[in-house]
Chain A
Amino acid sequence: QKEVEQDPGPLSVPEGAIVSLNCTYSNSAFQYFMWYRQYSRKGPELLMYTYSSGNKEDGRFTAQVDKSSKYISLFIRDSQPSDSATYLCAMSGGGNNRKLIWGLGTSLAVNP
């Protein structure tokens, strides 16, 4: 079993839809949970990070962490064609154990 599992998709939604992207993980020591967005032929760009459990909101984006279920989510409200990209989850432990473990990424297409 991989440490981090992420459905690669592709996921195709109409403009304006609510998008839900998810990752599951197996290592209960993970403390930091990140979502990166990667456009084609570009480097990943940090969207949001969360420490431990809970929700975090930034504009149309909401990140949720459920440590009891070892499950993280990224919600995109009112999705736009410009949100079409690959979304990568990543996580790490705390303290001196900051090695990032990445998901494979989910490819999202938002259709006008």
Chain B
Amino acid sequence: DTAVSQTPKYLVTQMGNDKSIKCEQNLGHDTMYWYKQDSKKFLKIMFSYNNKELIINETVPNRFSPKSPDKAHLNLHINSLELGDSAVYFCASSRQGRTEKLFFGSGTQLSVL
């Protein structure tokens, strides 16, 4: 039973398109995150939600919009995709904002052509 699951695993799309990535966790956690990992493996926090409320919103273009319909789901919608958006996007979750114990999904490899 996968703890944090993301779909799709791979996403190949053209510049200018709009796409979404979905994330679900079955750990009963109340905090969820989106991370971006670039080609150099650097992990950068994008957003964090606690009980459906946005608590971290790093300097991310407003083409990226997260949505949390409930505590177990956090989706990421990206408008007008650009070449520089190509990266691996990871969803993660934790209990009560405890960042010392993050559980990650397997990632979504996004390639913008």
Q: Which residue of A lies closest to B91 (CB)?
A: A43
Q: Which residue of B lies closest to A38 (CB)?
A: B41
Select one of B97, B101, B105 contacting A43, CB under 8 A: B105
* Contact partners of B21 in chain A: CB under 8 A: none
B98 proximal to A (CB < 8 A): yes
Interface size on A, residues (CB 8 A): 23
B4 nearest CB across to chain A (Å)? 7
Interface size on B, residues (CB 8 A): 22
Which residues 19-51 in A have Cβ within 8 Å of B in the complex?
A: 32, 34, 36, 38, 41-46, 49, 51
A64 nearest CB across to chain B (Å)? 16
Give the contact stretch, choosing among A53-61, A68-76, A98-106: A98-106
| Majority secondary structure of chain B interface residues (helix, strand, loop or mixed) | loop
Q: If A44-B104, A45-B104, A49-B101 touch, does A99 touch B56 (CB 8 Å cutoff)?
A: yes
Q: State A102–B90 Cα separation when bound (angstroms).
A: 14
* Contact partners of A92 in chain B: CB under 8 A: 99-100
A43 touches B99 (CB 8 A): no
Q: State A88–B92 Cα separation when bound (angstroms).
A: 15
Per-residue CB contact flags for chain B residues 93-113 toward chain A (1 = under 8 Å, else 0) read: 000011111111111010000
Q: State A98–B99 Cα separation when bound (angstroms).
A: 6
A46 touches B43 (CB 8 A): no
Q: If A42-B107, A43-B107, A49-B101 touch, does A104 touch B90 (CB 8 Å cutoff)?
A: no
B99 touches A32 (CB 8 A): yes
Q: Which residue of B lies closest to A96 (CB)?
A: B97
Q: State A86–B106 Cα separation when bound (angstroms).
A: 15
* Contact partners of A36 in chain B: CB under 8 A: 102
Q: State A44–B56 Cα separation when bound (angstroms).
A: 20
* Contact partners of A49 in chain B: CB under 8 A: 100-101
Which residues of B are at the interface with A, using a C-beta cutoff of 8 A?
4, 40-45, 56, 90, 92, 97-107, 109
Q: Other CB < 8 Å A-B pairs besides A92-B99, A102-B44, 16 of them? A: A32-B100, A34-B100, A41-B107, A42-B106, A44-B90, A44-B104, A46-B103, A49-B100, A86-B41, A88-B43, A92-B100, A98-B100, A100-B102, A102-B43, A104-B40, A104-B42
